[in-house]
Structures are given as structure tokens and as C-alpha cells.
Chain A
Amino acid sequence: MTTLSFVRARKPGPGAARNPHQPYRKALATTRGRIGLALALLVTLAGLLAPLLSSHVPTAQSGEALLAPGSPGHLLGTDDLGRDLLSRVLYGIRTDLEVIALAVPLGALLGCAFALLAAVHPVLDTVVQRVFDLVLAFPGLILALAITAVLGPGRLPVVVVIALAEIPVFGRQLRAGILVQREREYAVAARVGGTGRARLLLRHILPNCADPLVVQLAVSLTVAVFLEGAMSFLGVGIRPPEPTLGNMLSQALPYLAQAPHFAAGPLLVVTLLVLGFSLLSEALNREIRR
């Protein structure tokens, strides 16, 4: 009896509905997925709890201890202006996460909206494709420079640059998905059966395109960390005294020989964060591609 039910469980009949959340759960249960999730959560939590965990005000300068290495008073040491590095790293994570949490979903939503628009009519499709080409014609950081020329440095241009860079990525992904799904039997059957165009697109085709978009979301988180940091290095990102992971690293650059501990904290945190995100995306990708 047990063997029989085992066989039945392994081979669901043609009518059996697949649980759509199954591959995600399986992906998170792999070693890769677990480590990725743990790393991402660890860093995120540190950022969220920054006000509780940090011992100093991140922008407070102390005149006596400049570039001091770690000590009981300042666990990670101090920077060139005598600010506590641990507090700055924690608040830096927080800033990065705030920017990313705003920009990545914004870019993803706009990209998907463009792709849906393109699915309505071939003329719109051509227009949307050209818009994507145009954005992609600017290498990511060149786009950042052009945007900052107008907006000036700060949080807003970072959010805009990340969102803008993500629009064609998500848009093309979804457009390709729609083109494939539209010709599948279920979609043709639904169309023949009289399902309206909008309903077909939003209720039937869109859910079947979601999996690669979820993987892309995880990939985009790494890209966002990269763009924030890169903009700081180019001097067009979020400016100090407000700490970000990127601007701390770029400030530490001239002091690498003199005070390597300055770079150590942000270096470690950025590495853990992007490794976490990319392990997650790899785990999801493997499970979804099956």
C-alpha cells in the first residue's frame, strides 16, 4: 500500500495541479539556497537593527582618535575623521538596503509594464523595443554620469539609475516569456474559447512568465549593490557624511596602506551581501530550469 502511494506521489496525473511555490521552496532547501538566504538575512538584519546595534552616532566625529584600529570603544576602529566604523558600516547597510528596496522593484515593475504594453500591438512593440535599445546603448555607469549631470549627487539619482538600468532587463525577459507562452496550447485554447485579450495576458500568460523574473530579481539585487558602490567611486553617488557601503570603501581607498582596517568592514559586508544574493539566484535558477 505504501509503495503504491509512493508511486502515485512521484507521478502526478495530467490533471494534477502543480503547486506553483514548490520550486522556490525546493531551491531554498538546497545547500546553496540555505547559505545564500542566511548571508542575505544576516546582513539585512544587521542593517535593520543598526540603531540598536551601533554604539555611536554614525556621523559623530571625535577629534582624538583618527584612523585608530579596533579597540573596545570602537570595535572596528575609526575613520579619517574619527567616526566609529562599526556604526557607519551598520548604517551604511541600512542606506544601501533602503535605496535597493525602492529602486529594484520600481525598475522591475516599470519594465514589466513596458513589456505588457508591447504585447498589445506590434507598433507599440517596436516603439518599446527601441526604448529598451536606447537605455541599453548607454553602458550602465555612463548612464549614471548622464543622470547625475541633471540631478546632482544624492539618493535620488542612485535610485533613478538603478531603476532605469533594470527596466530593459526585466522588460526583455518578460517580453520573451510572453512571446513563448502566447503560442502555447493553453493560451491558444483560451483565446479560441473567447477569453478577452487583457484577461488572457494578465491572468493566464503573465503568471506563467513569473519564474525567470524571480531569478532576475535576485540577480538585480547584486547589480543594485554594484551600481550604488560604483556611483560612489565616481563621486556621483550618495555623499558622505551619510554612510553607504560604496562611499565608505571609496573613502578608504587613499588610506589602504596606512589604515587597512578602514576598508575591512565594508569590504566584508559587501562581499557577504552579494555572495548571498548570487547564491540565492543560482539556487532559484537551477530549480526553476528543471
Chain B
Amino acid sequence: MRGYLLKRIPSALLVLLLASFLIFAILRLVPGDAAEVLAGPDAGPESVAAIRGQLGLDEPLLAQYASWIGDLVRGDLGPSYAIGGQVADLIGDGLGATAELTLGALFFTVTLGLLFGVLGAASRRRPVRVVVHALTTGALAVPPFVTGVLLVLVFAVGLSVLPSGGRVGLLEAPDLELQYLLLPSLCLALPSAAVLGRYLKDSLERAFAEDYIRTATAAGVPRRRLLWRHALPNALPPVVTLLGMQTGQLLGGAVLVEAIFAWPGLGQLAEQALNRRDYPVVQDLLLLLVAVFVLVQLLTDVVYAALDPRIRWE
């Protein structure tokens, strides 16, 4: 296991390093730098140059990169140019909201995924299996912005039981917050729940074909107990790994779902910072998102290797 970690962790760090180069390079390619934004449209070239000197933007690129990474490591993200406030505060607020949304979506992914998987594999009624298959096909194919608009149309406009977007904050009003959280997290969870459900269904069907199930059936174990106590525990390990990968997907998808439901998370912050050309925020935010994503992938791989020793020897 240690050997696997020694191989896997450096390669994750390498990807992160390359990503930081790429993000830095991308933001230097953007027409018009931060000094021009700060100085405003009417500023003369001298004042722009003065601000550029203040911000250290006239230093060599390598020095700028080093000071960016150095500040990051020390936890000093500096002030935001356009949005206002400290970058660390902006990102902290957004991170809280996005984490909440992702956790909500994870809840629905697990519950709906289990439901789809178990019903799809174990229901003895054919119509139930057909409906589950149709639902998962639909949830996999239809983009979240379509399901999002449909959810708003049905629950916010048609039935008017849930709000169509926004957030009140978990600490301020927990019960109200749950209402606001419901639709976005469901919308974000649906594709992942479908993937999980499909995978669990296959996994369960394979488990049901095993000899020990036949033996247990012959010994008179009731079908319900067979499913929950014998087949399901044996079908779960690969599904757990899949869940890890889906968590990464949820983080990526959150950006879109936040835009649909006006959820003030990292995605909304990124969009706002890009539109107002607030480059320090964009730069730190992109790297943070990539880092979280790489970390989730790393954890998934490590868990998978812990569960299945063959992986470590590849």
C-alpha cells in the first residue's frame, strides 16, 4: 500500500503543478490585465503603469508565479480587485454554500441510487423494472438545465410548494434552508443517482447469480433477507468506489446547478469574477477547484486500491 501511495501521490501533485502553470498562463493571455481593470477606462497609460508597478505586474512572469504560489502556501490570498473584500473570505463563503449543495446532492445520489438499483434488480414486477430503466435512461441523457427548469416549473410554479432559487443560509434558518436546498440538490443528484443505480443493478444481478444465493434459497432464506443481508453487502464495494468518482462529478456539476437556482456558491463566484475581470479571484478559485477535484480522485483511487489489492501491483 505504501508503494502505491508513493506512486500515486507524486503523480497527483504533478497534475496539480501543471494545472497551476496552465491557470497562470491562461490568465496572462487574457487581453487587458488587472491594472487596466483597476485603473478604470479613463485612466492614462502612466497611471496604469503605476498600478502595474504597485501590484508587481511588471516583474518577470516567473517571479510573479513564484509570489502567487508563495502567498497561496502562506494562506495570504490578498484583496479582490473588483468584487471587494478579501479573496479568502469570498472563497470561504462560496465554499460553504457549494459544500452544502454537494452534500445535499450526495444524499439524494445515495438514496435514489440505492432505490433505482434495488428496484431495478430485485423487483419481481416487470412494469417496475421497466419504469426504473426508463427513469435512469432519462436522468442520464437529459442535461441538468432541462431537469432544473422542469423541477422549477412543477414544484415552484405549478404546485408553488418550493422556492425557485436562492439561499438563506443553514445557520440563520435551518428549516427554511432545507426547502431552498431541495430542488438544486435533487437536480444535481439525478444523473449521478442514475449512474449509481445502473451500476448497483448490474452488481446485484451478478451477486444473485452466485452459488451462495442458490444455497441460501434452497435452505429457505426469505427473499427479502436474501437481498438485504446477502446480495447487497456483496454488491456494494465497487459501488462505493463509483460514489467517490461521482462526488467529483457533483463538484463540477454544481457550477451549472448554482447558475440555474441562483445558489451563491463557488460557481457563481467564478462567473461573477470572470465577468468583472477580477483575476486574483479567478486564479485562486480555478486552482482550488482543480485541487479539490484532484484530491477526490486521489482518495477514490486509494480507497479502491485498499479494497482491491490487485490494483496496487499494476
A278 near B: Cβ within 8 Å?
Answer: yes
How far apart are the CA atoms of A235 and B262 in the complex, in Å?
Answer: 13
Closest-CB distance, A88 to chain B (whole angstroms): 16
Contact A249 B149 (CB under 8 A): yes
Quick one: given A137-B15, A229-B143, A275-B142, are A150 and B29 in contact (CB under 8 Å)? yes
| Chain A minimum-CB-distance residue to B22 | A134
The interface bits of chain A over 161-180 (1 if a CB of B lies within 8 angstroms of the residue's CB, else 0) are 00000000000000000000
Q: Per a CB cutoff under 8 Å, which of A133, A145, A252, A274 touches B143?
A: A274
Q: Per a CB cutoff under 8 Å, which of A142, A249, A257, A279 touches B146?
A: A249
List of A residues within 8 angstroms of B138 by Cβ? 275
Contact A253 B19 (CB under 8 A): no
Contact A138 B145 (CB under 8 A): no
Of the four ranges (under 10, 10 to 19, 20 to 34, 35 or more), the interface on chain A belongs to 35 or more
Interface secondary structure of A, over-half rule? helix
A146 near B: Cβ within 8 Å?
Answer: yes
Closest-CB distance, B233 to chain A (whole angstroms): 28
B43 near A: Cβ within 8 Å?
Answer: no
How far apart are the CA atoms of A250 and B261 in the complex, in Å?
Answer: 11
Q: Give B144-158 interface residues, CB cut-off 8 Å to A.
A: 144-146, 149-150, 152-153, 156-157
- B-binding segment of A1-9, A46-54, A101-109, A263-271: A263-271
Quick one: given A146-B23, A150-B30, A267-B149, are A137 and B294 in contact (CB under 8 Å)? yes
Closest-CB distance, B244 to chain A (whole angstroms): 15
List of A residues within 8 angstroms of B164 by Cβ? 256-257
Closest-CB distance, B271 to chain A (whole angstroms): 5
Contact A130 B18 (CB under 8 A): yes
The interface bits of chain A over 238-253 (1 if a CB of B lies within 8 angstroms of the residue's CB, else 0) are 0000000010011011
B274 near A: Cβ within 8 Å?
Answer: yes
Closest-CB distance, B248 to chain A (whole angstroms): 7
A-B contact pairs, 12 of them (CB 8 A): A141-B256, A142-B255, A142-B289, A149-B26, A226-B143, A234-B256, A256-B152, A263-B149, A267-B150, A274-B143, A278-B141, A282-B137
**Which residues of A are at the interface with B, using a C-beta cutoff of 8 A?**
130, 133-134, 137-142, 145-150, 222, 225-226, 229-230, 233-236, 246, 249-250, 252-253, 256-257, 260, 263, 267, 270-271, 274-275, 277-279, 282
**Which residues of B are at the interface with A, using a C-beta cutoff of 8 A?**
11, 14-16, 18-19, 22-23, 26-27, 29-30, 137-138, 140-146, 149-150, 152-153, 156-157, 164, 248-249, 251-253, 255-256, 259-260, 267, 270-271, 274-275, 282, 286, 289-290, 293-294, 297
- Additional pairs, 10, CB under 8 Å, beyond known A133-B15, A249-B146, A260-B157: A138-B289, A233-B260, A234-B256, A234-B259, A252-B149, A263-B153, A267-B150, A271-B142, A275-B142, A278-B140
